Amino acid sequence: MSNEAKHPVGTTKKTLRLIEVLKEDECGRVTELSEKVGMGKSAVHNHLQTLKEEGYVVQNGDRYCLGLKFLEIGGHLRSQMKLYKTAKPKVKEMAEKTGELANLLVEEDGIGVYLYRSKGEQAVELDTYVGHRTHLHYTAQGKAILAYMPEERVREIIDQHGLPQATPNTITDPDELFDELQQVRDRGYATHEEERLVGLRSVAAPIKPGDDSACGSISISAPSSRLRDDEITETVQSAANAIELNLKYS
Span 183-216, pLDDT tens digits: 999 999 999 999 999 999 999 999 999 878 999 9
Element (H, E) at 185: helix 174-187
Please tell me the distance from the alpha carbon of residue 231 to that of residue 115, in angstroms, as a whole number.
Answer: 24
Percent of the chain with pLDDT over 90: 68
DSSP 8-state class, residue 224: T
CB neighbours (10 Å) of residue 219? 30
71's CB contacts (< 8 A; 6+ apart) are none
Q: What is the pLDDT of residues 149-158, one digit of tens each?
A: 999 999 999 9
Q: Which CATH class is domain 73-249?
A: alpha beta
Please tell me the distance from the alpha carbon of residue 214 to that of residue 87, in angstroms, as a whole number.
Answer: 14
Bridge partners, 27 (sequence order)? 65
pTM: 0.85
| CATH architecture of the domain with residue range 3-67 | Orthogonal Bundle (1.10)
Please tell me the distance from the alpha carbon of residue 126 to that of residue 15, in angstroms, as a whole number.
Answer: 30
Long-range contacts of 105-109 (CB under 8 A, 24+ apart): 105/134, 105/139, 105/141, 105/142, 105/145, 105/204, 105/216, 105/217, 105/218, 105/219, 106/145, 106/215, 106/216, 107/136, 107/142, 107/145, 107/216, 109/160
pLDDT at residue 1, as a whole number: 44
pLDDT at residue 78, as a whole number: 87
* Domain layout of the chain by residue ranges: 3-67, 73-249
Q: What is the pLDDT of residues 213-233, one digit of tens each?
A: 999 999 999 998 888 767 889
